[in-house]
């Protein structure tokens, strides 16, 4: 009894329990004892209609199962199987006779008319196949139908005999029943007809069942082959191509032993060569995902167990994909360099464990990034599975697509995973594959399960596929890519899964340490561009040592000046964009000196706001020349002088509760200690405000801060700083204890960033839910003027748009408003955020213990938001004191750049330096270039030296790493993966894709053999 009107509208969406009962009941009716007893194929009826009574002639009490089907023309009963999925629709007459743990009988003798008798109906309610077989066996026994073979109804016994190289049992009939239903649903739903010779099919089905009961397994096998072949011909009549089926076991360190046990219990390698007259099962290989965690778990096994695991993975019926890093790798928490190291390390571990890398790249959880595709291709992977199996994302509308750009293309399996442990996914499996074929796609069923698990329908598909390809062909995943159909559609570039709620550790300095390490490498690259010989001997030098060496290479004599201000300094900036730095200089300097934005005398020293070029240097102090040395035609005329005289003098930064400079006017609130308003850029209105809150109940019911103290700490023409402190108060319950807070606001002359530092200490508010950190910790609520802003969070050194209500960032986020206005909210540590209504954003204050300060930078229309946010974490000091009386210092370069990066959204990083030999020696610098924006760009790097050549390498390749052997140009070219880079004298040019990361090794001539 099926819960639909016809096969055409066979249900495709049911709960797991309902689908298990429906498919279990349908296939249990195909048990060979029932087929042998009736000589017929099971019939189906609509659940909402009572099947018409069937006339019959009474028989004696002989054992009907013990006779051949041709001799059994008499019967007493008709068996009606009611799946639980049909209970809500069945007729009341059937529902009333159902017995939960047994069977019910509808006595039709009372309905006899004249000399005619009707079969009595035996009705059973079934929850699954095992339940159905058990109840059928009990009903047969109770009604007098006996069998001498006590194991004939045993569902745990799969084999009743053997024919050729296959075991034959009830499972083959269950699989045949499932296949019949799938083919009928496929052809009737998509083609509205059926071409199956039903009479021939039923005859051969009855013959197979009767021969199996008689012990003639060879004849039973031949009859079953005819049945499966008939269904294959039926499908081929409408769909000639075979869908692909991939059986993928997801293995973790915790389930590794389960997988080893399941493979040990399997039949081992499938024999593909048959002998005359023997039935050979078609191959149904299984695939397993081996990532970094599984490979490490195998290595940690005892030696004997590890060898067993490796031998199991080498079986011919096992396909392998993997090579990806651990699922706990959170890409958004790490820098790109850290991610590249983790990905390379995972490949090394998997290769060491398996002896070689698999040919298909995959990862259990977390997904993969588009940046990894060139490296995956360089590692000789034939395909990639970009699906995050843990979070259930990463799949697409098509099963198999092309990923990447021209030259970096690879095939990807993007089929939606099918839970092989859920019968609901198998209700209309063939119809879904038929629809994919009709759509011109590569029909693929990706059946995913944990080791040793799988529903009855999954095992039916596997069993049926040993007889026929009607449901599809099982593939090893490597052969699926090497021998399967080729896709011709391009898919969207993959992105790693974004974790929206990250619990951050305030004491975690991993990212800031990484930024400091990158500064050291960038300085090493700058030194190499000036003095290659000095750079090769300075690989292990500290940041301060490298800056002094750069200053010395520029011709300046460095001095030690720890406490007192120096008379002259060299500012060295190894990043982009240009920097504006506040420093103290002993004595006085010209107000319009080169590189000076502003200068003012304070206490015998000069406070200087200096500009430094990106990837460049600037000299400030007595050594520096004045911007105007002698009168010229460019001197200001009388009108200009009058304008300067009438222009208001430069005022101090702080004025009461306000901080002001050239780019913004900030108003602070004395009542709650937050920002009342920021007036900056185009437009007259307030564009930004903040306040501290605690939300112990909900985001919309907050406890606000109250300010008790306001104090001006610093107030000069170069710097202003205001300190505030207070507490949190609940207006509805003033007795509740909340943390106390302290905050400082700092604004520098010429800066587009307002620095905000906050410290919270004291009791934490109570919460019934310990996991609700938003209820435990204070947060900074930010209000913006735009009602529908675009939010781009900064993760992995890139700006990525997010529409999530909650999101995490490593260094902050940017708000894009109307009129191209942007507001940067940078943090000195990873933070989590949430949207509240349309105009509010909350940022969690994680510095809630001890005396730790949580520092933010609010930037308005900042150029290079990613770099600006990174500098807040790196806290880099860029000044190197130099000797003011250096000989010939007036003739030395006092401002310049060593490398220019274009456009501003592109960031360059030095990975390594080295020397390459080829008819001379060349300076080699390995660069990592990142497009931080989500748009493609025509990018370029220009150097202070002429470029000999450039080679693009994989992001996982480190050809310049220290080695005992000298690196030759031929060795370096063996790492090349592309030739799409143009060179032009001192410049290289290429096309950079959105959020793309490329690696170049640039060679510079150093002259002769030196």
SS (HEC) of 344-412: HHHHHHHHHHHCCCCCEEECCCCCCCHHHHHHHHHCCCCEEECCECCCCECCCCCCEEEECCCCCCEEE
- CA 807, chain centre distance (Å): 14
Contact 125, 84 (CB under 8 A): yes
**Burial of 975 (C-beta count, 10 Å sphere; 0-12/13-18/19+):** middle
Cis peptide before 582 (omega within 30 of 0): no
Contact 907, 867 (CB under 8 A): yes
Total number of residues shown for the chain: 1010
Question: Residue 426 contacts by C-beta under 8 Å, 6 or more apart in sequence?
Answer: 19, 23, 178, 418, 455, 457, 458, 460, 461
Here the tokens at position 818 are: 């109307």
Within the chain, which residues score under 50 in pLDDT? 58-73, 114-115, 155-157, 268-276, 626-634, 765-771, 848-850, 886, 1008-1010
Distance CA 734, CA 956 (A): 58
Distance CA 363, CA 384 (A): 9
Contact 668, 745 (CB under 8 A): yes
The phi-psi region of residue 92 (left if phi > 0; otherwise alpha if psi is between -120 and 50; otherwise beta) is: alpha
Distance CA 399, CA 403 (A): 12
Distance CA 288, CA 450 (A): 10
Cα distances (angstroms) measured from residue 369 to each of 324, 343, 362, 384, 946:
11, 11, 12, 11, 34
The DSSP call for residue 509 is -
Question: Residue 775 contacts by C-beta under 8 Å, 6 or more apart in sequence?
Answer: 695, 696, 697, 765, 767, 769
Q: What kind and span of H or E run contains 432? A: helix 429-438
Backbone angles phi, psi at 39, to 5 degrees: 70, 20
Here the tokens at position 367 are: 């997904």
Backbone angles phi, psi at 941, to 5 degrees: -125, 130
- How many helices (DSSP H) and strands (DSSP E) are in the chain? 22, 51
Q: What kind and span of H or E run contains 23? A: helix 16-28
Here the tokens at position 993 are: 């894709």
Here the tokens at position 620 are: 């400030």
Here the tokens at position 104 are: 């019910």
Please name the residue ranges forming H helices in 556-629. Answer: none
**What is the DSSP pairing of strand 120-126 with strand 77-83?**
parallel
Place of tokens 């507490």: 727
State the Rg of the chain over Cα.
38
Angle at alpha carbon of residue 430, lines to 425 and 431, rounded to 5°: 95
Torsion angle in degrees (nearest 10) through CA of 360, 366, 367, 370: -110
Here the tokens at position 297 are: 């778990």
Cα distances (angstroms) measured from residue 589 to each of 412, 555, 573, 620, 626:
63, 21, 22, 8, 9
Question: Residue 23 contacts by C-beta under 8 Å, 6 or more apart in sequence?
Answer: 129, 178, 423, 426, 427, 456, 457
Contact 20, 28 (CB under 8 A): no
């Amino acid at each position: 009894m099926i819960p639909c009107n016809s096969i055409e509208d066979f249900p495709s969406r049911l709960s797991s329990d309902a689908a298990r009962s429906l498919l279990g009941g349908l296939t249990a009716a195909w048990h060979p004892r029932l087929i042998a007893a009736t000589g017929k194929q099971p019939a189906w009826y609509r659940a909402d209609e009572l099947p018409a009574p069937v006339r019959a002639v009474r028989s004696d009490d002989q054992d009907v199962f013990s006779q051949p089907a041709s001799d059994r023309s008499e019967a007493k009963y008709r068996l009606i199987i009611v799946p639980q999925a049909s209970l809500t629709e069945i007729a009341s007459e059937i529902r009333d006779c159902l017995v939960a743990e047994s069977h019910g009988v509808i006595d039709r003798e009372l309905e006899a008319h004249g000399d005619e008798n009707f079969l009595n109906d035996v009705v059973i309610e079934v929850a699954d196949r095992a339940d159905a077989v058990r109840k059928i066996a009990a009903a047969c026994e109770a009604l007098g139908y006996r069998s001498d073979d006590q194991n004939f109804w045993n569902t745990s016994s799969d084999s009743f005999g053997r024919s050729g190289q296959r075991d034959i049992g009830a499972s083959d009939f269950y699989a045949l029943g499932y296949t019949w239903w799938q083919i009928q649903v496929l052809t009737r739903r998509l083609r509205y007809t059926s071409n199956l010779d039903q009479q021939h099919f039923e005859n051969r089905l009855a013959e197979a069942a009767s021969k199996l009961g008689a012990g003639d397994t060879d004849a039973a096998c031949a009859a079953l082959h005819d049945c499966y072949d008939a269904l294959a011909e039926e499908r081929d009549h409408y769909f000639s191509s075979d869908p692909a089926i991939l059986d993928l076991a997801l293995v973790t360190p915790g389930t590794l032993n389960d997988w080893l046990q399941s493979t040990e219990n399997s039949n081992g390698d499938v024999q593909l060569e048959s002998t005359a007259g023997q039935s050979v099962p078609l191959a149904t290989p299984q695939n397993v995902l081996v990532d970094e965690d599984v490979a490490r778990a195998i290595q940690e096994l005892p030696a004997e167990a590890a060898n067993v695991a490796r031998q199991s993975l080498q079986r011919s019926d096992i396909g392998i994909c993997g090579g990806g890093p651990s699922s706990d790798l959170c890409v958004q928490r790490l820098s790109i360099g850290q991610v590249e190291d983790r990905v390379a390390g995972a490949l090394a571990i998997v290769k060491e464990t398996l002896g070689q890398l698999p040919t298909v790249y995959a990862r259990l959880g977390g997904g993969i990034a588009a940046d990894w595709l060139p490296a995956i291709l360089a590692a000789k992977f034939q395909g990639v599975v970009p699906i995050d199996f843990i979070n259930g994302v990463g799949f697409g509308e098509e099963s198999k697509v092309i990923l990447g750009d021209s030259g970096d293309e690879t095939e990807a399996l993007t089929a939606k995973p099918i839970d092989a442990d859920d019968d609901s996914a198998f209700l209309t499996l063939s119809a879904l594959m038929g629809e994919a074929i009709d759509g011109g796609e590569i029909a693929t069923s990706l059946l995913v399960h944990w080791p040793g698990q799988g529903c009855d329908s999954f095992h039916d598909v596997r069993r049926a596929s040993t007889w026929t390809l009607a449901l599809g062909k099982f593939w090893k995943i490597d052969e699926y890519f090497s021998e399967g159909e080729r896709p011709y559609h391009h898919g969207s570039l993959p992105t790693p899964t974004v974790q929206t709620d990250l619990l951050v550790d305030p004491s975690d300095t991993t990212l800031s340490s990484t930024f400091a390490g990158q500064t050291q490498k960038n300085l090493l690259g700058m030194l190499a561009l000036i003095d290659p010989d000095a750079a090769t001997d300075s690989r292990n030098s500290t940041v301060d040592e490298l800056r002094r060496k750069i200053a010395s290479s520029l011709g300046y004599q460095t001095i030690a000046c720890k406490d007192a201000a120096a008379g002259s300094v060299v500012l060295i900036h190894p990043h982009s964009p240009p920097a504006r730095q506040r420093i103290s200089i002993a004595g006085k300097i010209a107000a319009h000196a080169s590189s000076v934005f502003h200068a003012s005398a304070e206490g015998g020293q000069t406070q200087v706001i200096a500009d430094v070029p990106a990837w460049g240097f600037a000299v400030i102090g007595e050594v520096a020349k004045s911007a105007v040395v002698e009168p010229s035609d460019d001197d200001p005329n009388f009108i200009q002088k009058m304008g300067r005289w009438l222009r208001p003098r430069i005022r101090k930064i702080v004025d009461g509760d306000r901080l002001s400079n050239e780019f913004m006017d900030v108003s602070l609130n004395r009542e709650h200690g937050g920002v009342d308003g920021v007036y900056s850029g185009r437009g007259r209105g307030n564009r930004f405000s903040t306040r501290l809150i605690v939300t112990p109940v909900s985001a919309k019911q907050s406890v606000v801060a109250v300010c008790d103290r306001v104090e001006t700490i610093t107030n000069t023409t170069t710097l202003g700083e205001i300190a505030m402190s207070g507490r949190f108060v609940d207006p509805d319950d003033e007795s509740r204890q909340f943390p106390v807070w302290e905050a400082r606001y700092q604004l520098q002359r010429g800066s587009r960033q307002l620095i905000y530092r906050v410290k919270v200490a004291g009791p934490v508010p109570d919460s019934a839910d310990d996991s609700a950190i938003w209820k435990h910790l204070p947060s900074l609520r930010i209000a913006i003027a735009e009602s529908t802003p675009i939010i781009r969070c900064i993760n992995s050194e890139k700006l990525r748009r997010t529409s999530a209500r909650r999101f995490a960032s490593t260094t902050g986020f940017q708000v894009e408003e109307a009129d191209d206005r942007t507001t940067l909210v940078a943090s000195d540590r990873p933070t989590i955020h949430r949207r509240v209504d349309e105009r509010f954003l909350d940022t969690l204050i994680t510095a809630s213990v001890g005396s730790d300060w949580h520092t933010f930078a609010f930037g308005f229309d900042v150029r290079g938001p990613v770099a600006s946010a990174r500098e807040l974490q790196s806290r880099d000091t860029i000044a190197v004191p130099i000797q003011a009386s250096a000989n010939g210092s007036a003739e030395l370069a006092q401002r310049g750049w060593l490398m220019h990066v274009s456009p501003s959204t592109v960031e360059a990083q030095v990975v390594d330096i080295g020397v390459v030999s080829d008819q001379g020696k060349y300076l080699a610098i390995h660069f990592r270039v990142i497009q931080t924006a989500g748009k493609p760009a025509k990018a370029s790097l220009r150097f202070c030296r002429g470029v000999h050549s450039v080679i693009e390498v994989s992001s996982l390749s480190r050809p310049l790493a220290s080695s005992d052997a000298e690196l030759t140009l031929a060795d370096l070219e063996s790492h090349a993966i592309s030739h799409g880079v143009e060179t032009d004298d001192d410049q290289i040019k290429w096309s950079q894709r959105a959020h793309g990361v490329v690696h170049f090794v640039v060679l510079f001539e150093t002259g002769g053999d030196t």
